[in-house]
Structure 1
Amino acid sequence: MKRLLASCFGLGRLPIAPGTWGSLPPTIVFVLLCYLGLSAGSISIVMAGLALVGSVVCVKFAP
């Protein structure tokens, strides 16, 4: 479970361009939030929250 969370459910472990695939979910969240019409401030707060959660997961589950 640790590996799945730290690699965004395995996307960050794909053999070709792992960092690119790992950044796909936040991009989808951003586009979805824009589509829903959230303000720029709200989108910034959500994205900062996701970055914080991702950072905590990486630090907590680091080898």
Structure 2
Amino acid sequence: MGNGQQGRSHKHSLSTPRCPDSNLPNAISRKELSGKPFNEIFKIFCREANIVVKGKVELDYPKENKA
């Protein structure tokens, strides 16, 4: 028995340093997350939002612009 069209696909485009102001306007300070590694924060967010991730999460850091 299949799960149909479950799941979410959502991506914010952050092209400039000012993009979060318009794309992510409802930021909430989470001081308890400060200093934690990305993987731990990701797991916390997924658990709080009832999101199940199947697969591997990889970070793709942009290369530094050395102009």
Common fold by TM > 0.5: no
Higher-helix-fraction structure: 1
Q: Which has the higher contact order (CA 8 A, sep 6+)?
A: 1
TM-score (norm 1): 0.31
